[in-house]
Amino acid sequence: MDLRPSARQQELMDRARELAMARFANRAAETDKHATFPFEDFDDLRDAGFLGLCVPEAFGGLGADFETYCLVSSEIAKGNGSTALCFNMHCLTMLMMGELSEPIEMSAEQRMRHEALSTQKFVEVVEKGVFYGQPHSEPVEEGETDSSLPQGGRRFGTTAEKVEGGYVINGRKFFVSLSDAADYFSTPCILNNLEAPWIDRTLYLQVPRNGAGVSFSGDWDPIGMRGTVSRNMVLEDVFVSDDAEILPAGGFGRFFQVHAHGPLTFTATFLGIMQQAYDLAVKFLAGTEPGMPGKGEISPILGQALAEIQYTVEATQALYRRSISEAKLPPTTEIRQRARAAHVTVQRNAVAVTQEAMRICGGRGLLKQYPFERYARDAHAASVMRPWTQEAVIADSWRSILAAAKRAKAAEA
């Protein structure tokens, strides 16, 4: 088994890392300090063609698949975690229209229409440099979708009424990243047609940020991921045309039934932060970076702590890469469980590694002139991001373990 990146993947990773370290890292402290969106980073992503990273080459994009995107995103996170997390929402929308839509059941007519609408949106990204946010969280905790769709529910308090030529949307979202910046928001909602099965009523619609009836409110002053600017969103009688469909009706609900690896796109951000915290700690202790004095003689205890961080980073990366390498396989129970394990392992170890990296660098590691404390604050966001919070994924894991054991026992009878 060879989990090394391909030559093309490595090329894109190298380009992303160069951009992240030469540009994004120099601005990260300011966007973090003022909790402002990293507009200049997205200008750089646009100029470098990375807004088209997951747009098929046929439409002028770079043609990255799911696995390649995850590898590239980790490199971007090394410069600024907020930039990478926002970039994830744009790229996941591109993947959902493209590669990730392929296993979703559609009629021939739906498939043809989906491909035509996706082409329009892909071309606009490449030619005009637009980008997307994903308002997937909303203050709704109960409902049929919560019991029927454990991963992907809790977002259908937002409704859509079918009208001539399109839909009228009403609802509320919260923690809407890119609220000050995205051109469009890929918005989940549910059709007001109680006679149809709920899954057929799930919609995923393109909502323009400046559309009539779209508003944002609330202060944004969190401890981490401050550059995402994730405010509240209100949709009040927002009209969008039929062409605003990102997925056909029912496609959004079915997406979560055929894909096991959805959360691993944003997990890539936290893997990158963890890797960068370790790399910076090594440079800090060795004194090989300008402005980092080094620790001189390293005690065995400190050396052991550094080695333990390396082991954690390597093991976490190995599990993560194994899991994303399986993204194109049929989602068996084993594959789903490994994806959950990779997701939670990154969530936990990102926090542990960033905090330990700061500790082993001593008192100077606490100074804000170094980014250790920002890495640690950003890392804490991983475990609370819905719908794949650490608690939700662990619950899915243990239920799956017991269900598999019962199936095995029944098969023996």
- Enclosing H/E stretch for 206: strand 202-208
Quick one: tokens of 74? 């980790």
Beta strand 184-191 pairing with 159-163: parallel
Same domain, 102 and 148: no
Residues 222 and 153 placed together within one structural domain of the fold:
yes
- Calculate the average pLDDT of the chain: 92
- CA distance to 36, 186, 235, 257, 272, per residue, from 180 (Å): 9, 15, 15, 32, 25
Residues 83 and 76 sit within 8 Å (Cβ to Cβ): yes
Question: Do 87 and 167 fall into the same domain?
Answer: no
CATH classification of the domain holding 361: 1.20.140.10
Q: Are residues 121 and 136 in the same domain?
A: no
Asked if residue 255 is part of any domain, the answer here is: no
- Radius of gyration, CA atoms only, the chain: 22
Percent of the chain with pLDDT over 70: 95
- The DSSP string of 268-298 is HHHHHHHHHHHHHHHHHHHT-STT----SSP
How many angstroms separate the CA atoms of 71 and 272, rounded? 9
Longest dimension (CA), the chain: 74
| CA proximity to 173, closest of 218, 121, 131 | 218
Domain containing residue 196: CATH number: 2.40.110.10
Domain count within the chain: 3
Task: Indicate which CATH number applies to the domain containing 103.
Answer: 1.10.540.10
What is the separation, in whole angstroms, between the first and last Cα of the chain? 36
Other CB atoms within a 10 A radius of the CB of residue 214 amount to 17
Strand partners, 231: 176
What is the tally of helices (H) and strands (E) in the chain?
14, 8
Give the SS3 label for residue 174. strand
The domain boundary, picked from 196, 224, 249, lies at 249
In this prediction, residue 150 carries a pLDDT of: 44
Are residues 356 and 268 part of one domain?
Answer: yes
Do the Cβ atoms of 385 and 266 come closer than 8 Å?
yes
Task: Please tell me which residue, 114 or 409, carries the higher pLDDT value.
Answer: 114
The amino acid at 324: I
Residue 227 maps to a domain: yes
What pLDDT, in 10s, does the model give residues 145-199? 445 444 444 457 899 999 999 999 999 999 999 999 999 999 999 998 778 888 8
Residue 184 and residue 189: Cα distance in Å, rounded? 15
Domain assignment of residue 413, yes or no? no
Q: pLDDT by residue (tens digit) across 198-247?
A: 889 999 999 999 999 999 999 999 999 999 999 999 999 999 999 999 99
222 with 268, same domain: the answer is no
Domain of residue 346 covers 260-408
Buried b (16+ CB within 10 A) or exposed e, 68-103: bbbbbbbbbbbbbbbbbbbbbbbbbbbbbbbbbbee
Does residue 96 register a pLDDT over 90? Answer: yes
Report DSSP letters for 122-163, one per residue.
Answer: HHHHHHH---EE-----S---SHHHHH-TTT-S--SSEEEEE
Tokens of 389: 């919070």
Q: How many CB atoms lie within 10 A of CB 7?
A: 7
Query: Any idea which residue has 């090989």 for tokens?
Result: 288
Question: What are the tens digits of pLDDT across the range 116-155?
Answer: 999 999 999 999 999 999 998 886 544 444 454 444 444 5
For residue 140, what pLDDT is reported?
55
Q: Please, are residues 202 and 252 in contact by the beta-carbon 8 Å criterion?
A: yes
Burial of 277 by CB count in 10 Å (0-12 exposed, 13-18 middle, 19+ buried)? buried
Report residue 221 as tokens: 């002053």
CB atoms within 10 A of CB 140: 17
Say if residue 270 is in the same domain as residue 385: yes
Residue with tokens 């160069």: 18
Domain end marker among 87, 111, 128: 128
